[in-house]
Amino acid sequence: MGRQRKRKGRPVAGWLILDKPWDFGSTEAVSKLRWLFKASKAGHAGTLDPLASGMLPVAFGDATKTVPYVVDGRKIYRFTVAWGEERDTDDLEGAVVRTSEERPTREVIAQCLGAYLGLIEQVPPRFSAVKIDGERAYDIARDGDDVEIPSRQVEIHRIDIVDCPDPDHTVFEVECGKGTYVRAIARDLGRELGCFGHVSALRRLAVAPFEEPDMVPLANLLALEEIADEDERLAALDAHLIDIGAALSMLPRIDVSADQAQRLRLGNPVILRGRDAPVACEEICAFAAGRLVALGEVSGGEFQPRRVFATHADPG
């Protein structure tokens, strides 16, 4: 059996909350950051379309093990709907398929928003990453074939009108759950109002548990390339990383000793002692000296690790 090729790059670990610029793909952004940080491993939590800007949480190293928790987090988007045109992509990229001279007033729009709250059925856009019989919907649509996408249930926690700068545009802010398509909201609102519409601007403001102040503009990171000394440059980049454990703030946590942490990292269970130690918990994370050690479950007062994290899990 041949030797396994060693992964190149630094074993850097942590979260970088990128403020992704407009007209820059999510995969392109991750590749650029991985190169900047000289990281051995990187991935993102939730694709952001090239025409959208804003929060793109990027995980390095062991942080990739916590990506599913961030993907499931609530999102906040601010978006502008341009009235009068429906497009086949439901955004600026697509071809116009329907038009109308009608324009909705703020009051009429507000009256419709109640139907978009809570658990609702939503049909994703034709040009989306939803899989139909193993193929991405956007690939089928680009081939010119009809795409029949079944509706699915999504959850919208709030949707507010932020501004109506002119009769042709309305700015909204929406807080929603996983799998919600803002473009579909614009499409459906336009049809319901009889004036048609598409998203002309979109920005993601938050992906729980991360918030807007956590974002770092790409330009700020690229500016650090001017630092000639590599160690100094990488240290300046690493200063922007957020601890892996921040992605798990929604889970209960316990603190363990250094000896227990070593046992957990080896995949061994540990007995939890103390008056406040949990007896049973389906999902919990263990920390030692402020660093994430393991994700696991507690049964009968024993912590059983499911995923363990290296000692370098805390950035810096």
**Residues labelled as active-site residues:** 49
Residue 62 CB coordination number (10 Å):
21
The one-letter amino acid at 306: R
Q: Which of 66, 74, 15 is nearest to 295 (CA)?
A: 66
Tokens of 24: 């820059």
Whether the CB-CB separation of 204 and 143 falls below 8 Å is answered with no
Label residues 36-47 b or e (16+ Cβ within 10 Å = b): bbebbbbebbbe
Distances (CA, A) of 314 to 237, 242, 253: 14, 8, 16
Residue 295 CB coordination number (10 Å):
20
Distance of CA 282 to the CA centre of its chain: 24
The per-residue DSSP string of 24-87 comes to --HHHHHHHHHHHHTBS-EEESS---TTEEEEEEEEEGGGGGGHHHHHTS-EEEEEEEEETEEE
Whether the CB-CB separation of 185 and 192 falls below 8 Å is answered with no
The per-residue DSSP string of 158-183 comes to EEEEEEEEETTEEEEEEEE-TT--HH
Whether the CB-CB separation of 218 and 21 falls below 8 Å is answered with yes
- Provide the 8-state DSSP code for 227: -
**H or E stretch at 299:** strand 291-299
